[in-house]
Structure 1
Amino acid sequence: MRTPALISALTALLTVGAAHAAPTKYPLTLKDDLGRTVTVKAEPKRMVSMLPSTTETLCAIGACGKLVGVDAYSNYPAQAAKLPRLGGLYDPNIEAIVALKPDLVIVSKYGKLEAPLTAAGLNVVAVNPETYEEVFTKTRLLGKIVNRDAQALNLVTSMRRDIARVEILTRNAVRKPTAYYEIDPTPYSIGPNSFMGVLLTKAGAQNVIPASLGDFPKVDPELIVKQNPQLILGTDLKTAGARPGWKSIQAVKTGKVIEIPKNLSNILSIPGPRLPEALRGLAKLVHPELFK
């Protein structure tokens, strides 16, 4: 099947189910990512988002105007970046959150933020996408919560279509280099089953980190020497070459060590609506020859 025909067929498949998008009926009772049963009594009007992925998703489905405050790391889009900053995962400003009088606070399942906020009388729901597929299911969940289900379905459809366009290019790559992706110089990396690991595979690379180590493991530098990747992402050649034994790694010997631009690195770290943009940027680093 030719590429245009393949994209058209895929789009048709993705749009199946559009009839299932319907206005939300409140009260809405759901089980959140902390395993709690939560009831949203009415369509939220004043919301606080304590995760960048949540902030970006809400804005992407047309609910940015409902936000009255965001976490310290929500810097996209511009409308959200102008909102009051309410701290991070482990240093939230509880008093500031309460003072905004939100009718719903969406939090991470980490950081134990739900307890003090619930004690303060606020309605809290944990929505925390971690895997690749959860990016899409949690987008639909957020759409349901804020009565934007149709918009959420449209977003998911367009995201999958744009991701497929990149995959069509990388699938035809002559070579698929073995790769090590570093997210922190400790070093921490990404497992193949994490959402970032899935993106790396879709970008046309073979992750050298075993799935058995987990999604975002701290790795033994000697393991990377043993795995001998053809490509290293997330650090620079000088840093990699200075590590004990790393000069023998193929990627270091051939200069295939690429420091990811800060903006792209930020997008790659957020399991939200910019996933297609993140994939395209990553694929350009892995296979620049496909994007000339």
Structure 2
Amino acid sequence: MKLLPFLLPALLGASSALATTYPLTLTDDLGRKVTIQSEPKRLISVLPSNTETLCALGVCDRLVGVDDYSDFPAQVTKLPKVGGLYNPNIEAMVAQKPDLVVVSKYGKLAEPLTAAGITVVAVNPETFDDVFSKTQLLGRIVNRETQAKNLVIQMRRDIARTEVLTRAAVRKPTAYYEVDPTPYTVGPNSFIGVLLSKAGAVNIIPASLGDFPKISPELVVQKSPQLILGLDLATAKARPGWAGIAAVKSGRVLKLPAELETILGRPGPRLPQALAGLARLVHPELFR
């Protein structure tokens, strides 16, 4: 007990070291220098992944508006909707008198909102590593750095638990993941591509094609993956030449469950659940 007076200052110093000092100046994902004058108390989020992260950091109650697609956690569905990236309702945003609007780097929202006198920061997680770095950035912006650090630690732990299982898999199937029937797919270095690898699959798409390339359907025929994700078996069978693909012949063509498909479109705090969901599809034998 005699050590307590000496420990308290050290502990208090450690916690205050993670408190944000305002004004805070940072460079956002649009390459703009943004100064946040004080801890924001009225927030608008125009990207579902950022909405989820802000709520996971414990500031859901500060949200006064969200984009049309933000629907998790459930409490955000009761908030005023302010449009989407490409059909924003600027008037609705201004009416909420936000201290800060968190936008994507797409959609060109920064200019009109800044012109209206509103502080805007673009935070746009796109890669696997971005999920962690942008979580910490948002934590810094809203003075929740300790919560952000703890959230990242927990996410990495949950991801590691799934990876322990998938690394033990005897065989790793070659896989094709379809984003839409154009067809667009995912490269191995994309956010989803990294998750696919961690789930114990081998992506047939070369990294040289990019993160979300539009491909020729003939490439899938040529590579003949053992697993196809993102469409149903009947659709795959109906495509010219696809009946001979290994996955089609074995019936390993799987449409994603709706919730998993949603989570995979949102690089945010539900990253561990996204990986676990993919792993169950790739290696169901590990989860029986």
- 1:175 has 2:171 as partner: yes
| 1:188-209 deviation per Cα after TM superposition (whole angstroms, max 9, x unaligned) | 1111111111000000000011
Encode CA deviations 1:66-93: one digit per residue, 9 max, x unaligned.
Answer: 1100001100001112111111110011
CA distance in 2, matches of 1:53, 1:21: 27
TM-score relative to the length of structure 1: 0.93
Structure 2 equivalent of residue 126 of structure 1: 122
Query: Separation in 1 of the partners of 2:139 and 2:147?
Result: 7
Aligned length: 275
Q: Quick one: distance in 2 between partners of 1:217 and 1:244?
A: 20
The structure 1 residue matched to 2:26, chosen from 27, 30, 48, is 30
1:57 Cα deviation (Å)?
Answer: 0.2
Note if 1:108 corresponds to 2:130.
no
Distance apart, 1:21 and its partner CA: 6.0
Partner of 2:11: none
| Partners of 1:97 and 1:71 in 2: CA distance | 10
Matches within 5 A, 1:92-241: 92-241=88-237
Instruction: Measure how far apart 1:212 and its partner are.
Output: 1.2
SS in 2 for 1:33: coil
Letter in 1 for 2:151: L
Q: Does 1:282 align with 2:254?
A: no
Give the direction of change, closer, same or farther, for the CA distance of 1:69–1:230 in structure 2 (3 Å limit): same
Does 1:71 find its partner at 2:54? no
CA contact (8 A) 1:21 1:149 kept: no
Cα contact 1:32–1:125 (8 A) shared by 2: yes
CA contact (8 A) 1:21 1:150 kept: no
Q: Deviations over 1:199-222 (max 9, x none)?
A: 000000000111111111111111
**Structure of greater Rg:** 2
Change (3 A) 1:21 1:81: farther
Separation in 2, partners of 1:265, 1:55: 17
Judging changes above 3 Å, is the alpha-carbon distance between structure 1 residues 246 and 110 closer, same or farther for their aligned structure 2 residues?
Answer: same
Instruction: For residues 129-179 of structure 1, give each alpha carbon's deviation from its aligned partner in whole angstroms, at most 9, with x where no partner exists.
Output: 111001000000000000000000000000000000000000010000000
Shift of 1:273: 0.2
1:267 touches 1:278 (CA, 8 Å); kept in 2? yes
The list of structure 1 runs, each at least 4 consecutive aligned residues, that deviate by more than 3 angstroms after superposition, is 18-21
Aligned mates of 2:96, 2:16 — CA distance in 1 = 34
1:244 matched to 2:240? The reply is yes
- Residues 1:51 and 2:33 are matched in the alignment: no
Instruction: Answer yes or no: is 1:61 the counterpart of 2:57.
Output: yes
2:220 and 2:108 map into 1 onto residues whose CA distance is 34
Q: Which runs of 5+ in 1 are unaligned?
A: 1-17
Maintained 8 Å contact 1:21/1:153: no
SS in 1 for 2:29: coil
SS of 1:151's equivalent? helix
Deviations 1:241-262 (A, max 9, x none): 1001111111001111001011
The answer for the alignment partner of 1:86 in structure 2 is: 82
Q: What's the secondary structure of 2:213's corresponding residue?
A: coil
Counterpart for residue 10 of structure 2 = none
Letter in 1 for 2:24: L
Give 1:186 deviation, angstroms: 1.2
Query: Paired residue for 2:4?
Result: none
Backbone CA RMSD of aligned residues: 1.1
